[in-house]
Amino acid sequence: MPEHIVSAYDAELRGLAGRLAEMGGLAERLVTDAVEALTANNHELAQRVIADDGRLDAMQRDIEERALLLIARRQPMARDLRDVVAGLRITNDLERIGDLAKNVAKRVIAVGEMPMRRLLLGVEHMAEIALEQLKNVLDAYANRDDALARAVRERDGEIDALHNSLFRELLTYMMEDPRNITPCAHLLFTAKNIERIGDHATNIAETVHFIVTGEVLADERPKADETSTAEVPAPPG
């Protein structure tokens, strides 16, 4: 292959990876801003997150078009093809993360002022870990760091365990005082959205492993979400 064609091909691959990294940065910011809007009851910031989700969708379409053109024109093989196909998988996870951040932002408007600040603490803690997971997995992608990607995957159960604990705590508050039912219900949905953000970070970690090694992780990922089968206690009286 002539040198100028190889150079153009490499530039296209780098451009695709750079665009994907940019999308990851925007997804990370949307999650950060959505959680900040929730904890600060900042409706203006929440509306900005909702609006900016459209930018993430546009970036996904752009990356998909670039990837398909690259495959059609260059017919990449082996590692290069793996990078392109895996990049498409990652953009899908990032787009879903943006949707979940938007869902959290929408809850800000619905919740309003929380009657008790401590109701937010568990959600904040979950969000901190989910954001750390997202940041780490984006670093793992940028640096092709399989060890970091596997560490993200192994930590997925921690977010699930926090979600289980928060689920039971919020149910208790709802049973103790009917005035807590509406805000707690919104926080239950918010916590589930954050738990799903952690799941998508884990998806990306598995994709990074595939990029680096060419292998799919065979062992079952660590999961501990028990909320779908949890028994809800009857209210007192």
pLDDT (tens, 9 = 90+) of the chain, 237 residues, equals 554 456 777 888 889 999 999 999 999 999 999 999 988 889 999 999 999 999 999 999 999 999 999 988 888 887 888 889 999 999 999 999 999 999 999 988 777 666 566 778 888 899 999 999 999 999 999 999 999 999 999 999 999 999 999 999 989 988 988 888 888 888 899 999 999 999 999 999 999 999 999 898 877 666 655 565 555 455 544
Tell whether 62 is covered by a domain. yes
Tell whether 101 is covered by a domain. yes
- Are residues 150 and 213 in contact, defined by beta-carbon separation less than 8 angstroms? no
- Residue 85 makes CB contacts below 8 A (sequence gap 6+) with none
Tell whether 67 is covered by a domain. yes
Tell whether 118 is covered by a domain. yes
- Are residues 130 and 31 in contact, defined by beta-carbon separation less than 8 angstroms? yes
User: Would you give the DSSP letter of residue 42?
Assistant: -
Tell whether 235 is covered by a domain. no
Instruction: Report how many domains make up the chain.
Output: 1
CATH code where residue 219 lies: 1.20.58.220
Rounded to whole angstroms, how far apart are CA atoms 87 and 39?
Answer: 33
Tell whether 37 is covered by a domain. yes
Tell whether 236 is covered by a domain. no
Rounded to whole angstroms, how far apart are CA atoms 84 and 68?
Answer: 9
- Give the domain extent around 36: 3-229
Count of other CB atoms within 10 angstroms of residue 217: 14
